[in-house]
Amino acid sequence: MQLAVKTRDPAEINAVALKAYARIADAWGLSLREAAGLADMSESTWKRAKKPGFAGELTKDQLLRLSAVIGIYKSLDLYFSDPLARTWFTRPNTGPLFGGARPVDTAIDGGLPQILAIRTYLDALRGGA
């Protein structure tokens, strides 16, 4: 018996990831600079990327960033109720990863390793790690 494996077109994966990320950036109230920095894009590229039909390609790093941010959003949604789930990422935090800074700022400054650390931190809070 053979199994049919459906492979997704990389452009389709990029489009879905960008659409989800754009919704999250809006839900969190991220500025253009913050949303672009978190995705490791220039502001002009982010303006183009968030529009339907964006034909550009995402790097592996950018796709991992978007995936991890989507995971962070989902963790916050499961762990906290509104409005804290929507504002946690942009509020100053005295937790061990943040030192009083906003998680979004540490994620932008620390890049993919910090984004993944935040994702792991939230998963641990939920009891998943």
- Using one digit for the tens of pLDDT, what is the confidence trace for 54-103? 888 999 999 999 999 999 999 999 999 989 999 999 999 999 999 999 99
Name the residue among 79, 61, 78 with its Cα closest to residue 116: 61
Count the residues in the chain. 129
- The token duo for 32 is 């253009």
Q: Are 17 and 63 in contact (CB under 8 A)?
A: yes
Q: Are 90 and 30 in contact (CB under 8 A)?
A: yes
Q: Give pLDDT, residue 32.
A: 97
Q: Are 28 and 89 in contact (CB under 8 A)?
A: yes
Name the residue among 56, 106, 115 with its Cα closest to residue 46: 56
- Using one digit for the tens of pLDDT, what is the confidence trace for 5-16? 666 777 888 999
Q: Are 21 and 66 in contact (CB under 8 A)?
A: yes
- Using one digit for the tens of pLDDT, what is the confidence trace for 15-34? 999 999 999 999 999 999 99
